Amino acid sequence: MFKSLKEKLSSFKKKAKEDIEKKGGGEGDKGRDREGITSPYSDRRVKRKGKKESKFFKKVFARKERKKEREDQGPKVNREGEKGITLDSAVTESGLKGDDILKVQGSLVDEQGGIFSKKITEKDLDNSLFDLELALLESDVAQPVVERIKSFMIDELTGIKVGRKTDIDELIEQALRRSIKRVLNIERIDFDEFIENHEKPVVVMFVGVNGTGKTTVIGKIGHRLKKEGVSCVLVAGDTFRAGAIEQLSKHGDNLGLKVIKHKANSDPAAVAYDALEHARARKKDVILLDTAGRMQTNINLMDEMKKIKGVAKPDMIVFVGDSLAGNDAVIQAQKFDETVGIDGVILTKIDTDAKGGAALSIAYTIGKPILFVGTGQEYGDLIPFDSNWMTERLFEG
């Protein structure tokens, strides 16, 4: 799970550590040919490096750099208020305690001597952030999310003073964890709580492109609800794909759950209507409505989904995305959201996803939370998603 992203983040951490450890920072530019590669944080310096600088300009630039450095250091000595983050809060948030805090703070004392410690500047991070950008893009993380993570990293690390005793590994990892959590932290919906507190029957409609795992997810959620003592019916709203009704019926048989179904090719909105009548009459708690897979570009099928929504009046619309689709899953989610308005996402096949791009990007990009992730083909393979879960997967040993 997320193996390749995990490895990439680990090599970024090493690179960032090297860059921070280099006295004066930014020296990492040497020996790396970055001509023609643009990074929003290094454009200025890349362009400058491309020219043959005269001694005069070198002096001017050096003076300017020194001035900038002094300006940077001035107000940041006490960073409180400036960015709403102090070294202490950074350290405490990092989860560093006792001796660790002393280690980091020890560098502050060194700083007064001006010999053994230095303040991390944006320039120190320049090379490693460029590597981070590539790593994230290669892992299918959406561009706006890459930019956010990079700017959070700058926010987290610049101005922090590091000395000989600072655990730079820990500093970088904690900054990365917090940056990743920040992009994942879209207001959560607790699915179970939502069901419990909502007026019954609660209608949950599942949508998404072909083969992402909608029908399987319905089986998994039916299983979960049954275990929790919540009564539910499954609704075979995919009347389009051959075998879809039988597939859902099989889940119903396995789980001992009622399946509302019509003939193949009948109107899915009519099936949804019957399901509502049934659930109201039998006082069922939840209706899990399956729908046919459809490409987000198929206007007719997308319109048909609006019609189903109009009849079923779902209380929650869940987009089911295949994590292996990476960035495409994000684009699909955006389209489905525009068409019917989705409330949350379930990402499936996380067990076979080495990249993790969709999991990192989808919530931030569409502003809707990931409710669950599918981690296999068994009924129990459904895990509630939160930012801690994801970061633990990315940084576990």
Ligand X SMILES: Nc1nc2c(ncn2[C@@H]2O[C@H](COP(=O)(O)OP(=O)(O)OP(=O)(O)O)[C@@H](O)[C@H]2O)c(=O)[nH]1
Stretch that binds ligand X, among 107-115, 224-232, 255-263, 371-379 (CB under 6 A): 371-379
Residue 3: CB minimum distance to ligand X, A: 15
**Residue 26 makes contact with ligand X by CB under 6 A:** no
CA nearest to 189, candidates 41, 368, 18 = 368
Nearer to ligand X, 109 or 301 (CB): 301
With CB under 6 A as the contact rule, the residue among 249, 376, 384, 395 that binds ligand X is 376
**Residue 239 makes contact with ligand X by CB under 6 A:** no
| Cα(318)–Cα(301) distance, integer angstroms | 17
Residue nearest to ligand X (CB): 293
CA nearest to 166, candidates 255, 259, 104 = 104
Alpha-helix residue ranges (DSSP H) falling in the chain: 3-21, 43-50, 55-76, 87-93, 98-113, 122-138, 143-157, 168-184, 191-197, 214-227, 244-255, 268-281, 299-312, 327-340, 357-366, 387-395
With CB under 6 A as the contact rule, the residue among 8, 15, 309, 349 that binds ligand X is 349
The continuous run of DSSP H or E covering 203 comes out as strand 202-207
Cβ atoms of 174 and 101 closer than 8 Å: no
Tokens for 48, please give them.
Answer: 């400058």
| Binding partner of 375, given ligand X, Mg ion, none, CB within 5-8 angstroms per partner class | ligand X
Residue 141: CB minimum distance to ligand X, A: 20
Cα distance from N-terminal residue to C-terminal residue, the chain = 13
Residue 256: CB minimum distance to ligand X, A: 19
* Interface mask toward ligand X for 350-369; x: CB under 6 A: -xx-----------------
Question: Which DSSP category does 187 fall into?
Answer: P
Residue 347: CB minimum distance to ligand X, A: 8
The continuous run of DSSP H or E covering 235 comes out as strand 232-235
With CB under 6 A as the contact rule, the residue among 127, 139, 179, 348 that binds ligand X is 348
Stretch that binds ligand X, among 148-156, 170-178, 336-344, 370-378 (CB under 6 A): 370-378
Cβ atoms of 127 and 21 closer than 8 Å: no
**Residue 216 makes contact with ligand X by CB under 6 A:** yes
Q: In the complex, which residues of this chain contact ligand X (CB under 6 A)? A: 208, 210-216, 238, 241, 244, 293, 348-349, 351-352, 374-377, 381
